[in-house]
Structure 1
Amino acid sequence: MLLLAVCSLAVVSPLLALRWPAALLLRRWRWPLLIWAALAVQVVIIEIPLPHGLAPIVHVATYVIALGFLWMNRHVPGALLVGAGAASNGITIALNSGVLPASRAATAAAGIDPHLAFANTAVVTHPVLPWLGDIFAWPAPLPLANTFSIGDILIVLGVVIATWTGTRRIRTG
């Protein structure tokens, strides 16, 4: 939820500077249902228990779908940066049995229960590429306390670039 909230804030941020993110909002996206499907499935696998072993496979598949959407829209400023962040997360998840490895310190700071049935991030005993996992924390008691990764940071930066490229001044008065 933290990543979604920060990306949403990035999309509305030009309005705070009296700018309209016209290029982002008026763009004709290629295959937009891919990204909406990937996001919806991620919510489902986190919120609804699936048969044992299925959630990690579906989780990795959502990244493949999202990367397909980003590749179809690679001409959009920031899309390749979002793709790099998603690829970083997706590859790390695939190499760690379907979860993004998280550091114990980050999960503790965020107040995350490490014994959840399935979470898209978890403390892993011997993680592969641990530096690409959730090594940062937005700590509790802050709203939306959670962990995040370098890939998440790249995704947010890409969304900021996509949002701010082509903004137009909002006419006042």
Structure 2
Amino acid sequence: MFLFFAVIAGALVLAVVVGGDVRRLSQIRVKHLELLIGAFGLKLVVALLGTAHSELAVNIARPLNIVGAVLLLAVVWFNRRIPGALLFGAGLVLNLAAIVSFGGRMPVVLPSGMDPSSARLAALRNGLDPLHVLLPQPYGPWFIGDIFSIPSLVGRSSLVSIGDILMASGIVWLIVQCSRRVPSTSHAVDRPAVVLKRSAK
């Protein structure tokens, strides 16, 4: 989650630096907003289930993770003409494939520098994380799971997937492209059309 907040903030700054106007982002019209709300609603439910720290909560969350990703993918499809949507969708497809392949949760392979006994990884280590499943060793399509470590502002590393990176790239493309100013045509000079008439025979 930190990745996407950081990406949005960075993209807004980049858009301003390259001469864009971020106020133009308000002109974006998203089709089938109800599907987007449903996807985020399921994400919230899964987050709340994560506070239960129980196997029952995990079992309930697994299908919700898949349904939420499918709803979000549908939103991307209906809005595929928006800049960056297809790139975001490609990343989402990879994440969805990983989630489905591992029973409704995102596979995680801890890098060598990360301490698996860390307190903040307790739920993941005990199998009670509703979003992620820890792989003791790589197997299956592990390479599309959360395997890349990125630093965060609070000094902790976060794990992301190649799908997350593609989705983040799509967000950057969207913000920068949609905030670009439209060239003004107010100073354009209309040239009179020259009409050629054939002489009558």
Which whole-Å CA distance do the structure 2 matches of 1:78 and 1:141 have between them?
Answer: 26
Residues 23-47 of structure 1 show CA distances to partners (whole Å, capped at 9, x for unaligned) of 5331111012322321232132123
Deviates more, 1:86-95 or 1:120-129: 120-129
SS, match of residue 71 in structure 1: helix
CA contact (8 A) 2:145 2:160 kept: yes
Equivalent residues of 2:95, 2:144 under 8 A apart: yes
User: Corresponding residue for 1:80?
Assistant: 86
| TM-score w.r.t. length of structure 2 | 0.72
CA RMSD of aligned residues (A): 2.7
1:162 corresponds to: 174
Instruction: Flag structure 1 segments of 5+ consecutive residues without an equivalent.
Output: none
Counterpart of 1:13?
13
Aligned length: 169
**Residue 62 of structure 1 pairs with residue 68 of structure 2:** yes
1:117 to 124, 128, 139: 128
Larger radius of gyration: 2
How far did residue 89 of structure 1 move? 0.3
- Identity among equivalent pairs (%): 24
Q: TM-score by structure 1 length? A: 0.82
Amino acid of the structure 2 residue aligned with 1:118? D
Distance of aligned partners of 1:122 and 1:116 in 2 relative to their CA distance in 1, 3 Å threshold: same
| Distance verdict in 2 for CA 1:93–1:3, change over 3 Å | same
Query: Once the 2 structures are TM-superposed, how far is the Cα of residue 15 of structure 1 from its aligned partner?
Result: 5.7
Q: Is the 8 A contact 1:14 1:21 kept in 2?
A: no
Match of 1:92 in 2: 98
